[in-house]
Structure 1
C-alpha cells in the first residue's frame, strides 16, 4: 500500500524563488496600498475594499475574456 516517494513528489509543483519574491512583494504592496487608501486618505475600510474589489474584478474580467494565454515571462 506504500507508494513510491518519487511518484508522490512528482505531483507536487515546484516552488521557485520567483514565486516567493512575487508573493512577498504582492503582500507588501497590497497592505501598503490598503493602508494608504483607508488610513492616509481617510476613505475607510469599506470604500477601500470596494475600490480594490473593482480593480480586481476588472483585471479578472479582462483575463477571462482574453482569447489566448500570453505568459509574461516566457
Structure 2
C-alpha cells in the first residue's frame, strides 16, 4: 500500500508533518495503514454479525426501515 501511495503522489495533511523520506515517517504511515485496515475489518465483522442477528430474529434486510419518523 505504501508503494501505491508513493506512485500516485498522494499528499497527507496533518497537524504533524510526516517526512516519508525518513524511516520514522514511513513507520508512521505504515502504522496508520494497519489501524485503518483493522477498523475496516472490524466494521465488516460487525455488519455480518448484525445481518445474522436480524436473520435469526426474522427481520430481513429491506430498503425501508421499520422505525417510524416524526
Taking structure 1 as the reference length, the TM-score comes to 0.43
More helix by share: 1
- Report the TM-score, using the length of structure 2 for normalisation: 0.45
Q: Flag the structure with larger Rg.
A: 2
> Which one scores higher on RCO, CA 8 angstroms, separation ≥ 6?
2
